[in-house]
Amino acid sequence: MTEPAIHKSDFIEKAESLILENIRNEQFGVSELAELMHISRSGLLRKIKTKTQLSASQFIRQVRLEKAMDMLRKTSLTVAEISYEVGFGNTSYFIKCFREQYGYSPGEVRKRTVADEDESTPPSSLKQYRIYLAAAGMLVIALLVVFLLSKRSSVSAPIEKSIAVLPFVNESSDSLNLYFVNGLMESTLNNLQKIRDLRVVSRTSVARYRDTELGIPEIAEQLNVNYLVEGSGQRVGDQVLLNIQLIEAAGDHPIWSEQYSREVGDVFALQNEIARKIADAIQAVVTTAELRQIEKKPTENLVAYDYYLRALEPYYSRTREGLEKAIPLFEKAIENDDEFALAYADIAISYYFLDVYQKQKQYTERINNFADKALLYDPKSAESLIAKALYYIQTEEYQLAVPHLEKALEYNPNSPAVVQMLGDLYARVIPNTAKYLEYALKGIQLDIAANDSVTQSYIYLHLSNALIQSGFVSEAVTYINKALDYNPDNYYAPLLNAFIPYAQDGDGERTKSLLIHEWNKDTTRLDILQEVGKVYYYQEDYDSAFYYFEKFVNARERKGLDIYQQEDIKISLVYKKKGYEEQARRFLNSYAEYCEKDQSIYKSASTAVLYAYQGRNKDAIEQLKIFASQDNYQYWILLFLDKDPILKPLNNDPEFGRVIQKINDRFWRKQENLRELLESKGLL
């Protein structure tokens, strides 16, 4: 709701005036306001926060919404027209923001205005008399309406359709039947994951609750879901007995439950029926295409299916021992049904994980052959597409992996494995900060509670890294702290944590101190070692930079490692400053080779540094102009590019300042759009 009017400072009044002058410009954001206010971006953020308790983007949005409210009251423009007039390119997002600001939709404003006008009209004596007579009755009615509405809102307010399927309880006297009951749980989970209107928490997140003593509300709170599915079952000969219930977490009561007694041959129909009834119970929209996916039988052969179910537990262990146990069982499944696409896919995935950490890959052709078989027999299976994507990752054809993974996400929008792989690809090999952040945020929604604190710590680290790369520094701080809380011994978190002070306020001394502290704890850490050298390099303390770079270079050569080639130009300059001309040329040549091979969005920026080193200043600026047209580059570029000693000679050229400003402006403009996009998707 709106706040009472308060005295506004000259600074805030000027800021509001500038926003109103540019209100139709959807791209007018924090950077543009800072430029017109003749203040740094960080200074603007700080002053607005101090005077309004709002972030700069929230303040700009509030001014837009206040103008929208004024226009709704004073003009006859439609909601869509007004949303455009106040700089919202998306009407639905405008309505969402308006409702959050005022507590009701834009469409209700004019109704309220008419009602207010009616109340302000002086009534005739007859009307007054009738009003007085009706007052007591109206008061009673009003109180009754308020009571009924409050009751109705508590019952019918929309609840997010988030759900977790807890491990089913095996009620068989024979413990060997556990795999079959687990298979029923897996199929229930997999079918629900295919429904886009649901948010379904991953199997790794629920596995830890197999033998828990926690109650439903506690589990739901930890998993951040509104519904839980519980089940217990047994297999007696050819008969399947299953008890299942859907529980609304808020009231800790079942809203749907069923007892089933079916023949084993009806197991697929049973699995499909459960998914449909759960979706119906929480009013989830299931499209025709999703229904086809749910109703698809993995195989007609029950013997093949039985072997497949037996393979799942060792398969999901992802250990070498487990995978080596699962593969023969998948092969048995295929022997009994040579068109069993799911079994082909899971064999391919098993071989990928057997090979993943090996220098010499043994199973590349097997992965490809089994993945192709999976696609042949079911090209619309998420698992078939994942298997083929993993083959391309194995052969380092990453661009070919992406469309397979994106298509897999269409068939299984709740797949944490696909989300994680896409996030990793966009973080490492196909740099795209926006997509990296989007998938990191999706991942934490699906993998909200990992099996152990170590895994949870790395999930939060992953998200913190994605956030800071996109310039969301305060949010990154929150999650890096969570990462360290869950696991203080997280291998990589201290490295990211060391750079956060620099991202916050340019505190290079604090960053350097934290890095040296971490390196002294483990002097074998080459990643930290070269980062310490870089900090001294940016401070132009070449003696200290050389001390750490020399240690790094010697260790890299001694171990025969081909790492951090992108930093060789910095090492080259440091060696040159120390008089080691021959070594400096060698590092420069190495960096030139790196630029030649680089296919990422950073190629032009890297090449600009090379040209500047060679004294080709005009060529360097032209390369920076090319880079200034790129999107989704990391926040670190803004923090370090114009501070690079190699680029220092370019400061004399006014074109350099303009292109650096363009790079900064483009980043913040895209970041503002990204924030709104992620907020509209409920991801930020």
Clarify whether residues 80 and 185 are in a common domain. no
A 10 A CB-CB count for 106 gives: 23
Is residue 157 assigned to a domain?
A: no
pLDDT(234) > 90: no
Q: What is the pLDDT of residue 101?
A: 85
Q: What is the pLDDT of residue 71?
A: 87
- 107 vs 197: CA distance, rounded Å: 26
Between 446 and 275, residue with greater pLDDT: 275
A 10 A CB-CB count for 653 gives: 14
pTM score of the predicted model: 0.63
Among residues 198, 231, 245, 222, which one has the least CA distance to residue 447? 222
Is residue 613 assigned to a domain?
A: yes
Under a CB-based contact definition with an 8 Å cutoff, are residues 676 and 64 in contact?
no
Share above pLDDT 70 across residues of the chain, in percent, rounded to a whole number: 89
Under a CB-based contact definition with an 8 Å cutoff, are residues 437 and 466 in contact?
yes
Cα separation values, 627 from 371, 484, 630, 641, Å: 38, 35, 5, 12
Furthest CA-CA distance within the chain:
104
What mean pLDDT, rounded, does the chain reach?
85
Clarify whether residues 187 and 277 are in a common domain. yes
Number of structural domains the chain divides into: 3
Clarify whether residues 211 and 100 are in a common domain. no
Q: What is the pLDDT of residue 501?
A: 85
Is residue 318 assigned to a domain?
A: no
Clarify whether residues 620 and 676 are in a common domain. yes
Clarify whether residues 100 and 166 are in a common domain. no
- 474 vs 56: CA distance, rounded Å: 13
- 499 vs 520: CA distance, rounded Å: 17
Clarify whether residues 265 and 196 are in a common domain. yes
Clarify whether residues 188 and 114 are in a common domain. no
Which of 233, 258, 287 is the last residue in one of the domains?
287
Under a CB-based contact definition with an 8 Å cutoff, are residues 317 and 346 in contact?
no
Q: What is the pLDDT of residue 113?
A: 54
Cα separation values, 238 from 39, 183, 264, 420, 527, Å: 76, 16, 5, 39, 58
Between 473 and 181, residue with greater pLDDT: 473
Which of 253, 270, 287 is the last residue in one of the domains?
287
Which of 70, 92, 120 is the last residue in one of the domains?
120
Clarify whether residues 178 and 99 are in a common domain. no
Angle at 572 between CA 568 and CA 574, to 5 degrees: 120
Is residue 558 assigned to a domain?
A: no
Clarify whether residues 110 and 191 are in a common domain. no
Per mean pLDDT, which range of 35-39, 298-302, 352-356, 627-631 is the poorest? Answer: 35-39
Q: What's the pLDDT tens digit per position in 285-342?
A: 999 999 999 999 999 999 999 999 999 989 988 889 999 999 999 999 999 999 999 9
Per-residue confidence band for 634, with pLDDT thresholds at 50, 70 and 90: very high
Q: What is the pLDDT of residue 127?
A: 34
pLDDT(4) > 80: no
Is residue 320 assigned to a domain?
A: no
CATH number for the domain including 79? 1.10.10.60
Q: What is the pLDDT of residue 156?
A: 32
Clarify whether residues 172 and 281 are in a common domain. yes
Average pLDDT value for residue range 208-222: 85
Is residue 198 assigned to a domain?
A: yes
Tokens at 82, concatenated: 């007004």
pLDDT(146) > 50: no
- 464 vs 472: CA distance, rounded Å: 9
DSSP at 96: H
Instruction: Show the DSSP H helices in 356-411 as ranges.
Output: 364-377, 382-394, 398-411
Per mean pLDDT, which range of 111-115, 275-279, 546-550 is the poorest? Answer: 111-115
Clarify whether residues 87 and 202 are in a common domain. no
Determine how β-strand 162-165 pairs with β-strand 199-200. parallel
Per-residue confidence band for 110, with pLDDT thresholds at 50, 70 and 90: low
Q: What is the pLDDT of residue 574?
A: 97
Between 235 and 247, residue with greater pLDDT: 247
Per mean pLDDT, which range of 90-99, 347-356, 430-439 is the poorest? Answer: 90-99
Average pLDDT value for residue range 11-32: 87
pLDDT(245) > 90: yes
Average pLDDT value for residue range 202-219: 84
CA–chain centroid gap for 348, Å, is: 27
Per-residue confidence band for 664, with pLDDT thresholds at 50, 70 and 90: very high
Q: What is the pLDDT of residue 482?
A: 87
Is residue 215 assigned to a domain?
A: yes
pLDDT(385) > 90: yes
Please report which helix (H) or strand (E) contains residue 246, including its range: strand 239-248
- 229 vs 257: CA distance, rounded Å: 10
Q: What is the pLDDT of residue 641?
A: 92
pLDDT(514) > 80: yes
Q: What's the pLDDT tens digit per position in 57-81?
A: 788 989 999 998 988 888 878 777 7
Q: What is the pLDDT of residue 145?
A: 29
Beta bridge partners of 240: 235, 262
CA atoms within 13 A on the CB side of 573: 23
Clarify whether residues 674 and 604 are in a common domain. yes
- Burial label for 100, CB within 10 Å (0-12, 13-18, 19+), is exposed
Q: What's the pLDDT tens digit per position in 402-453?
A: 999 999 999 999 888 899 899 989 988 888 998 999 898 888 877 655 445 6
- 53 vs 50: CA distance, rounded Å: 6
CATH number for the domain including 236? 3.40.50.10610
pLDDT(614) > 90: yes
Q: What is the pLDDT of residue 8?
A: 61
User: Domain range spanning residue 61?
Assistant: 10-120
pLDDT(135) > 50: no
Q: What is the pLDDT of residue 93?
A: 67
Is residue 629 assigned to a domain?
A: yes
Average pLDDT value for residue range 543-558: 95
Among residues 238, 235, 217, which one has the least CA distance to residue 227? 217
Per mean pLDDT, which range of 6-15, 109-118, 607-616 is the poorest? Answer: 109-118
DSSP, collapsed to helix, strand or coil, labels residue 239 as strand
Using only C-alpha atoms, the chain has a radius of gyration, in whole angstroms, of 30
